[in-house]
Amino acid sequence: DAGITQSPRHKVTETGTPVTLRCHQTENHRYMYWYRQDPGHGLRLIHYSYGVKDTDKGEVSDGYSVSRSKTEDFLLTLESATSSQTSVYFCAMGHPEGGELFFGEGSRLTVL
Amino acid sequence: KQEVTQIPAALSVPEGENLVLNCSFTDSAIYNLQWFRQDPGKGLTSLLLIQSSQREQTSGRLNASLDKSSGRSTLYIAASQPGDSATYLCAAYSNSGYALNFGKGTSLLVTP
């Protein structure tokens, strides 16, 4: 059991289309994160959540929104996808202050 | 903002060599530092977590050290194997931030 899963794993969409990525965890972690990974930039934080309905922005949050209605689910939404949002998106869980972060397998998004 | 740098960006060594990967960070007020491994097309796997009160952590052939005063961490891999080929990422969590800040990684190739 991976403990944290992402869906979909791969998606191709067109510019201007809304896209939602889902992150699901079974470990009851309070903190969850969305990162994007791009060549030359490494991993950058998009948004994070510190509890149900409690979210905050990261360093690259423009064009993204998130929601967390249940502890186990953290959704990332691109309201109107752009080509610059083509990336690999990673979800993570765990509180970095106290311990390790655990990552999902990633969702590869291509915006044409 | 915590800046994390990893040197070298890429490294190729023959099997059996001992090697050191370097990580530096700008904010010495860190809670912890975590090393990850990432295989192509995969998520991040946590290797070692060093809390700010610790100087090193060991797991099998891996040893990670932390020197907060100099802003540096090293990952030592003993007796490298082809299966160690992957990208290694370090990430620091400081008390001036809210999430892990990542370096861009070192791509390691161990040749038979």
Instruction: Flag if B104 and A42 touch (Cβ within 8 Å).
Output: yes
The answer to whether B31 contacts chain A (CB < 8 Å) is yes
| SS3 category, B83 | helix
10-residue mean pLDDT profile of chain B (112 residues): values are 91 96 92 93 92 93 95 97 97 78 95 96
**Tens-digit pLDDT profile for residues A47-67:** 999 999 999 999 899 999 999
> Nearest by CB to B103, which of A42, A56, A97?
A42
Sheet holding A73-78: strands in order across? Answer: A4-7, A19-25, A73-78, A64-70
The answer to whether A94 contacts chain B (CB < 8 Å) is no
| A99 vs A102, higher pLDDT | A102
What pLDDT is attached to residue A2?
Answer: 66
What pLDDT is attached to residue B65?
Answer: 97
The answer to whether B88 contacts chain A (CB < 8 Å) is no
The answer to whether B35 contacts chain A (CB < 8 Å) is no
C-alpha A46/C-alpha A64 separation (Å) is 8
Q: Which residues, at least 6 apart from A39, have a Cβ–Cβ distance to it below 8 Å?
A: none
- The residue of chain A with its CA nearest to that of B92 is A96
Radius of gyration for chain B, computed over Cα atoms and rounded to the nearest angstrom: 13
Q: What average pLDDT is seen over chain A? A: 93
Q: Which residues, at least 6 apart from B67, have a Cβ–Cβ distance to it below 8 Å?
A: B55, B73
Structure letter (DSSP) for residue A80:
S
- The residue of chain A with its CA nearest to that of B88 is A42
Q: What is the DSSP string of B16-68?
A: T--EEEEEEES---EEEEEEEEE-TTS-EEEEEEEETT-SEEEETTEEEEEET
Instruction: Count the residues in chain B.
Output: 112
The answer to whether A39 contacts chain B (CB < 8 Å) is no
> B18 is written with which tokens?
């001992």
**Tens-digit pLDDT profile for residues A66-98:** 999 999 999 999 999 999 999 999 999 987 666
What pLDDT is attached to residue A37?
Answer: 97
- The residue of chain B with its CA nearest to that of A93 is B99
Q: Which residues, at least 6 apart from A6, have a Cβ–Cβ distance to it below 8 Å?
A: A21, A22, A23, A24, A89, A90, A91, A104, A105, A106, A107
Q: How far apart are the first and last CA of chain B?
A: 41
